[in-house]
Structure 1
């Protein structure tokens, strides 16, 4: 077995940055009825049967309370031309991040973002401990996807494109 030298948090983040990921905005509705959204790149499928997905939120995230109490959420997989939405939903200093954002209604009542490569309408199944993050596990209840378009990617700390 190979022994690796010790490492710090910066080296760990740098190594993880070598794994290219897609970017999604996960949306829900807060207890007061206000729409909530956050940009994530820690999204993945978990199971095909039953259809389960997961995403991770930092315990310090201002949106954690809404996702912890909401019964449903929507994963909006962003296309390459939606970098503005990724930036908008990742910043804390946006007064009204929903202003001018085109939405699509869902059966669960959670707003989906228009123009995404895919949307997955999910029922929250579990919240799991993930160290300094919370892992949100959801069961997909409905979905839609496009045949065209390229994904918005994240690689080594910045946006990336295919090809």
Structure 2
């Protein structure tokens, strides 16, 4: 058992070296907006247009996505670390003071540099997570946006290209 825990810690530390973009996944539970910070997001297919998100099975966001059937991936830009941290913790109202709009049945963050709205196509088991495959229903981005990155347990940004 100890060996497995050591391996899990090693795996987590190893995977922290994979730089990823930072997103906030949003959905609704009835009229209540629900959201969480995530880095396990990936484009999946161009035909049909699909992406995937991986959500910890212990989180209420997982249940809310399954019940609502729609979610959004809000890609955060550099300088959005406070927003990422806000949605990364458990608290009663993560949306307090956060500007959103709802044109597609889920809250979209005004400060996101990109957003993708998806209907759940599949929910697949993935160990202690659920892999939600989403059919893209809407997407938009800002051409001047630069991403917030997550690496080795901290936030960062891209260097300006030469």
**Same fold per TM (> 0.5)?**
yes
Contact 2:27 2:61 in 1 (8 A): no
Q: Distance in 1 between matches of 2:88 and 2:39?
A: 11
Tell whether 2:126 aligns with 1:130. Answer: yes
Match of 1:105 among 102, 107, 121: 102
TM-score normalised by structure 2 residue count = 0.91
| RMSD of aligned residue pairs (Cα, Å) | 1.3
Per-residue CA deviation, residues 31-86 of structure 1 (Å, 9 max, x unaligned), is x3211001100000000111100011111113221011112111100001211111
Partners of 2:100 and 2:7 lie apart in 1 by: 41
User: Is 2:58 the partner of 1:52?
Assistant: no
Deviation at 1:90, TM superposition (A): 0.7
Q: How many residues end up aligned between the 2 structures?
A: 155
Distance, in Å, in 2 between the alignment partners of 1:147 and 1:51 is: 21
> In the alignment, is the contact (CA less than 8 A) between 1:106 and 1:121 conserved in 2?
no
Please identify runs of 4+ aligned residues in structure 1 that moved more than 6 A: none
Cα deviation for residue 95 of structure 1 reads 2.6
Note if contact 1:77-1:118 (Cα within 8 Å) is conserved in structure 2: yes
> Residue 69 in 1 paired to residue 67 in 2?
yes
Aligned to 2:135: 139
* Partner SS state of residue 86, structure 1: helix
Structure 2 equivalent of residue 42 of structure 1 = 40
Question: Which stretches in structure 2 are left out of the alignment for 5+ residues?
Answer: none
Whole-angstrom distance in 2 between the partners of 1:119 and 1:63: 18
